[in-house]
Structure 1
Amino acid sequence: MIPRLAAPADWEHIDLLSDLHLGPDTPGTLVRLARHLAGTPAQAVLLLGDIFEVWVGDDARHEPFEASVVTTLREASRRKALFFMPGNRDFLVGADLLADAGMAALPDPTVLDAFGRRWLLAHGDAQCLADAGYRAWRATSRSPAWQADFLAKPLADRQAFGRQARAQSRASQAAQLMGMDLDADACRALLREAGATTLIHGHTHRPAEHDLGDGLKRVVLSDWDLDATPPRGDVIRLSATGLQRLPL
């Protein structure tokens, strides 16, 4: 059974965003996130994974950059509902960070009931079935045994692992992003299980809308990089009038 989130009647706008990849080397992206959270009319903001470039455990939330992100989120959570769905970079976010940042956990996938419609939300990596190497890594890294062993290591060791993984990822990212995409059959099956017609996800960094046939479609969120030239990023906003893509 896919978990459900029912939007309260007083929510008029819901913002969806993903793949901010926040880290010390992207300060402009954090500034833009803070500005968006302060200015959006949305009553709820749903973060659909890879909000952090890497997350090695909740004890990292006290590090200088991570603490600034927590402060930004906590301030926003006093004015609106914040939800967090794990991505492939920040699946180790736990209860301590969520509590400090004022966010509620959002399972991957989740059905969102809002504005008289049913939307299916996911990060997207679990549906990239052609990447056998990543699928094997995902199965390993999401296991309780691997996570317990990793989180038992000293923070400095985990941070070193994260830096190494990030460097390896950046070295092959262009090829990965060109080669990976969600499996259409898997998306159709998930939509039918959810009783929804639209899947909204991130992960691939290729914002678009894809017709899956039979009235089904998937909508892809952009990644964010406000430190790039040109800067990029967008938000998908849901309301009673439907779905709107808002470039930053």
Structure 2
Amino acid sequence: MNTPIVPPLAELTASASWRTVDFISDLHLGADEPATFAAFRRYLETTPADAVFMLGDLFEVWVGDDCVSDGLMIDGANGSQHAASFEDHCACLLRQAADRLALFFMHGNRDFLVGQRLMNLCHTSLLADPTVFIFEGRRWLLSHGDALCLADRDYLRFRQQVRSPAWQQAFLARPLGERQAIARGLRQQSQQQQQQRKQSGAGYADVDANAARQWLRAARAATLIHGHTHQPAEHALGGGLSRVVLSDWDAQAAVPRADVLRLTASGLQRIAQL
């Protein structure tokens, strides 16, 4: 597959008051991962950051904003929550965090159906993918990263289909229960494919270096920050360009993972949350 045309580049300039900015991705929050949700709650309650950027796959699955109850409320006097579902609890947690943090969300390959209703409810800003983030006079390119995994041709064809407005409109028109059943089936299929890859020794597709360089040059940025691959590392791309991969979160893994990438005037630092 040829290097993709660079999509339109949105820009966001940090508030002059921000001193610390955090980047996270791939938490894959779900009702069956209570330890990871608890770690996320602790993180939001304790982070010293002024802003938190959630760069995709915050949720394991999101089938539409109507999975959040219409009657969702937070009692500001005592912080009590009135929530009926796991999605409600997630929305309450974000809403409370937004009282002291600037929150930003970017779609991932699991939660691309998050919509403006949820963003409004949680006082969170939706980011385009990719976005140029300007902080302390330096430009950083932010992306979930999946669109740059050019070797994963099957996924990119699927991505093109499900990101189309027509497909999304048709899917969201289905009853909520039907959408949830479809999502469970797709998740089971994905887990089976992952297991087959492990058994065969096949690796996961990684970000294409040439594509990353093209995006960075178009953005006039030196560093790409992304998630998706679950392979946290720093990669030199040549010519002063690099990409930094965010950690996925899994509090129940044999070696628990939950790292934050923290940006200050001094640069980037990985901070373990577990």
Structure 1 length normalisation: TM-score?
A: 0.97
Query: Which of 1, 5, 13 is the matching residue for 2:12?
Result: 5
Kindly name which structure, 1 or 2, has the bigger radius of gyration based on alpha carbons. Answer: 2
Question: For 1:147-158, what aligned pairs fall within 5 Å after superposition?
Answer: 147-158=168-179
Shift of 1:55: 0.5
RMSD: 1.2
Whether the 8 Å contact between 2:14 and 2:135 is mirrored in structure 1 is: yes
Q: Which has the higher mean CA deviation after the structures are superposed, 166-175 or 178-187?
A: 166-175
Please give the per-residue CA displacement for 1:8-38, whole angstroms capped at 9, x wherever unaligned. Answer: 1100000000000000111111111111111
1:73-95 residue CA offsets vs partner (Å, 9 max, x unmatched): 10000001000000000000001
Structure 1: runs of 5 or more not aligned = none
3-state SS of paired residue (2:87)? helix
Partner residue of 1:121 out of 129, 133, 142 = 142
CA distance in 1, matches of 2:137, 2:35: 36
| Structure that is richer in helix per residue | 1
**Counterpart selection for 2:151 from 130, 140, 144:** 130
Alpha-carbon separation, structure 1, partners of 2:204 and 2:87: 31
Shift of 1:101: 1.5
- Shift in Å at residue 227 of structure 1? 2.1
Q: Is the 8 A contact 2:204 2:229 kept in 1?
A: no
Tell me whether 1:88 sits opposite 2:112 in the alignment: no
Quote the sequence identity (%). 55
Deviations 1:83-117 (A, max 9, x none): 00000000000011111111100110000000221
Match of residue 37 from structure 2: 30
Residue 179 of structure 1, CA deviation: 2.5
Which among 200, 205, 229 is matched to residue 180 of structure 1?
Answer: 205
> Residue 183 of structure 1 aligns to which amino acid in structure 2?
D
Aligned residues: 248
Superposition deviation, residue 195 in structure 1: 0.2
Task: Name stretches of at least 5 consecutive residues in structure 2 with no aligned partner.
Answer: 1-7, 70-83
Using the alignment, how far apart are the partners of 2:139 and 2:44 within structure 1? 24
State the TM-score, normalizing by the size of structure 2: 0.88
Post-superposition offset of 1:217 = 0.4
